[in-house]
Homo-oligomer: A and B are copies of this chain.
């Protein structure tokens, strides 16, 4: 798919944390249980976000992870780039070594346009915006079989 599985776990986890911004820290175990994914795997993913300065963490009792900055200032793009790298926003659709306006591949023109839209969208879409819509519209963050968000 368009983003890696690791990356969508990261986005969903970040949204879960954003939904609980009132709490100082949320434990990774709680996130993993609500989103229906492996605790250990999620730990690794969130470590990456912490190292990139998107989250902060705190060890020990009452510890966990939280957003390093206000949810309003964290874009989806930032998370995608942290996990998957820049390729989605700069790579060639046909997988050529470089994507270059001066030496375009056949799909360049059409893809570059859509890609810009995608980048704009991902840049403008913040965790705060999505968290707000999740709260108001009850959007789902997990598969149906996973534990509900309402806890």
B141 touches A3 (CB 8 A): no
Instruction: Using CB atoms, name the residue of chain B closest to A106.
Output: B130
Whether A93 sits at the interface, judged by CB under 8 Å, is: yes
State in angstroms the CA–CA spacing of A121 and B117 once bound together. 14
Q: Is A110 an interface residue (CB 8 A)?
A: yes
| Binary interface encoding of chain A residues 100-139 relative to chain B, with 1 for a CB under 8 A from any of its CBs, else 0 | 0001111110100010011001000100001001100001
A68 at the interface (CB under 8 A from B): no
What is the interface residue range for chain A against chain B?
A: 35 or more
Most B-side CB within 10 Å, residue of A3, A87, A94: A94
Chain B residues with CB below 8 A from A139, complex form: 104-106, 108
The answer to the question of A64 belonging to the interface, with a C-beta cut-off of 8 Å to chain B, is no
Pick the interface stretch among A7-15, A21-29, A45-53, A54-62: A7-15
**Can you list 21 A-B contacts with CB-CB less than 8 angstroms, sorted by A residue number?**
A1-B88, A1-B91, A2-B93, A3-B93, A8-B93, A11-B107, A12-B94, A15-B106, A76-B107, A94-B141, A96-B140, A96-B142, A97-B143, A103-B144, A105-B139, A105-B141, A106-B134, A106-B139, A107-B125, A114-B117, A117-B117
B-contacting residues of A (Cβ < 8 Å)? 1-3, 5, 8-9, 11-12, 15, 76, 87-88, 91, 93-97, 103-108, 110, 114, 117-118, 121, 125, 130, 133-134, 139-144
